[in-house]
Amino acid sequence: MAQLLPAALLSAIDELGRLPGVGARTAERYAYYLLRTRPEVASQLAESLQKLHSGVKQCPVTFALIDSDEDVSILYSDSSRDKTTIAVVEEPLDIIALERTAQYHGTYHVLGGAISPIDGIGPEQLHIPELMKRIREDNVKELIIATNASVEGESTALFLQRHIQEAGIEVKMSRLARGIPVGVDLEYADQITLSHALEGRRLL
């Protein structure tokens, strides 16, 4: 059977289809949109992708993403940030969610994932030794474990708690509260969410 689409378009569809959450039909729509739009739009996209690896690096202290010409994350070097409080997150983009609240003024530590034996990710693949070093060097008073509310996130939180306690480090450890989102009726809440909501209930 003859090839139904030009090779260049098929190549673009194949590459876009590699992105997480992008199925075959979505990849076709994206590629066709880029073909139909002004050539400079596709050129700008290609240029930004080419600069992605050379223009971004990890902060050597927090492992947040920073510009390649920066030494450390501004969220660590800023004197107004409280270095004695660390929010531990799984991925760099998790920082954005906490920063948007404008309620947190401590620093961050990105683990680089969560413990997941099924995916071959153990504690040794995460930035846990660096976290232990920071706790000691910055005289950290509170560690907010802000891993995801998933099986992997819970396992990682429990591992960190045990690991720090076994190391004999005295630091206050807390976990982000989880419960029923605003606007959701009780009948639609799942069992795990309801359990966390009950555990985290507060007096009126």
| Residues 92 and 146 reside in one and the same domain | yes
| Residues 37 and 77 reside in one and the same domain | no
CATH number reported for the structural domain that contains residue 83 in this entry: 3.40.1360.10
Instruction: Spell out a b/e string for 91-112, using b for 16 or more CB atoms within 10 Å of the CB, else e.
Output: bbebbeebeeeeebebbbbbbb
Question: pLDDT, tens digit, for every residue of 133-172?
Answer: 999 999 999 999 999 888 899 899 999 999 999 999 999 9
Q: For residue 1, what pLDDT band results from cuts at 50, 70 and 90?
A: very low
Q: For residue 187, what pLDDT band results from cuts at 50, 70 and 90?
A: confident
Percent of the chain with pLDDT over 90: 77
In the chain, how many domains are there? 2
Whole-angstrom distance, CA of residue 42 vs CA of residue 32: 11
Question: pLDDT, tens digit, for every residue of 2-60?
Answer: 478 899 999 999 999 999 999 999 999 999 999 999 999 999 999 999 999 999 999 99
CATH number reported for the structural domain that contains residue 40 in this entry: 1.10.8.420
Give me the residues paired with residue 85 across strands.
142
- Alpha-carbon torsion (49, 53, 56, 61), positive or negative: positive
Judge whether 195 lies within some domain. no
